[in-house]
Structures are given as C-alpha cells and as structure tokens.
C-alpha cells in the first residue's frame, strides 16, 4: 500500500524527473501545474489575511458606532406573542414574531410599537429590546465575538475560494490529459496490432 510520502515523492519526481525517468511530457505538465497551484495557494494566504484584517477593522468600527448609538431597554408586551408551536422535524420551538409593546427611554419618554416576542410570550411579559438613537426598535449591535468571527470567516472564505478554483483547474487539466494519454495509448496499440498483422 502506497503511503502519502511515496505519493508526494512520485509527484516531485514527475515535476523534476531524474535521469532516465519514464515520465511522459504530459505527466510533467500535470506535475508542474500541481506545483504551481500549490505555490499560488500559498501566495494567496497573505492577501486573505489582509482581507480578513480589513474586514475586522471595518466591522469593529461599525460595532463601536452601533454600541454608541443603540441602547437596551425593557419592553412590556401589550398583547400575547405568537402561540407556542414545535417544529415537527426537530421538536424545537421556532423564532419569535412581532407583537405590540411599550417601553420607556432613558429620558423618561414612553414609546409603543412592535417588538419581536418569543413564542409563548403573553401580555404583560417584560423583555429586553435594543433601540436606536430615535428610540425605535433595532437589531442588537455587533459584538466583539461577532466581529472576530466575521473577519476569520471572510479571510478563510477568500482563501478556500481561491484554493478551490486552483483545485478545479488541476482536476480539469488532469482529466483532459488522461483523455489525451488514453487516446495516444489506443493509437499506439492499434498501430502495433496493425504492424503485427502485416508482418
């Protein structure tokens, strides 16, 4: 059974064949393409890291802005939230839905409107909600953990995308070369059979 080290050694000798090697030109082309793809995949790493770093800085600024302009208040439901129902596949309750509620801002002003209430919530329940600078309900601000995750995912996604394209190019090239080699082998075999027939 071939080990991974033996396969890597064979691939390396295909790219840089030794004296007397039986590697065909197409084998060398395929090996060279694979080596170039590996080098390019490694070369993309710094760009992916830079992209992730820029994403982190941008998202961190957005998070700071959201934390500065948004505050959390306690809202009181004026009506029952959505009825409690379980997902038939997982048995887990679904997400909440908008329900009428009232809340008081930091300056003492009362507001009323729609907030997202969990399933099973009833009139009079109190729940925390985020509001923007105008006192309207808004999405929660980006957290530090979310900023880090977003940066890592964006950098990793960029690198995996580039590596995937390189892998696809290698795969398609290998398939094309395999067809070429098979056609060449069949042609040589027919020529040999023809030669034996007429000898």
Over residues 128-151, the mean pLDDT reads 91
What was the pLDDT predicted at 23?
60
Which of 11-15, 49-53, 138-142, 168-172 has the lowest average pLDDT?
Answer: 11-15
What was the pLDDT predicted at 1?
46
pTM of the complete model: 0.62
Q: How confident is the model at residue 19 (pLDDT cuts 50, 70, 90)?
A: low
Instruction: Write down the domain spans for the chain.
Output: 4-64+145-198, 71-140
What is the percent of the chain where pLDDT is above 70? 81
Which of 57-66, 102-111, 139-148, 170-179 has the lowest average pLDDT?
Answer: 170-179
Q: Which residue has the higher pLDDT, 35 or 95?
A: 35
Q: How confident is the model at residue 15 (pLDDT cuts 50, 70, 90)?
A: low
Residues 6+ apart with CB under 8 A from 184: none
Mean pLDDT taken over the chain: 82
* pLDDT of 165 over the 90 cut: yes
Q: How confident is the model at residue 186 (pLDDT cuts 50, 70, 90)?
A: confident
């Amino acid at each position: 059974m071939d080990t991974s080290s033996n396969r890597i050694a064979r691939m390396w000798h295909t790219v840089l064949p030794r004296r007397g090697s039986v590697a065909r030109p197409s084998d060398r082309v395929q090996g060279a393409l694979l080596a170039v793809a590996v080098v390019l995949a490694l070369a993309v790493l710094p760009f992916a890291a830079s992209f992730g770093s820029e994403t982190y800085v941008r998202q961190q600024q957005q998070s700071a802005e959201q934390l500065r302009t948004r505050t959390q208040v306690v809202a009181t439901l004026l009506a029952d939230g959505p009825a409690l129902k379980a997902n038939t596949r997982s048995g887990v309750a679904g997400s909440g839905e908008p329900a009428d509620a009232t809340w008081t801002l930091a300056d003492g002003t009362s507001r009323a409107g729609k907030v997202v209430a969990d399933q099973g919530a009833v009139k009079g329940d109190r729940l925390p909600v985020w509001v923007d600078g105008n006192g309207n309900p808004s999405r929660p601000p980006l957290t530090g953990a979310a900023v880090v995750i977003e940066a890592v995912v964006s950098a990793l996604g960029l690198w995996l995308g580039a590596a995937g394209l390189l892998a696809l190019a290698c795969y398609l090239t290998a398939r094309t070369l395999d067809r070429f080699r098979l056609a060449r082998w069949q042609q040589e075999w027919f020529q040999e059979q023809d030669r034996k027939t007429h000898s």
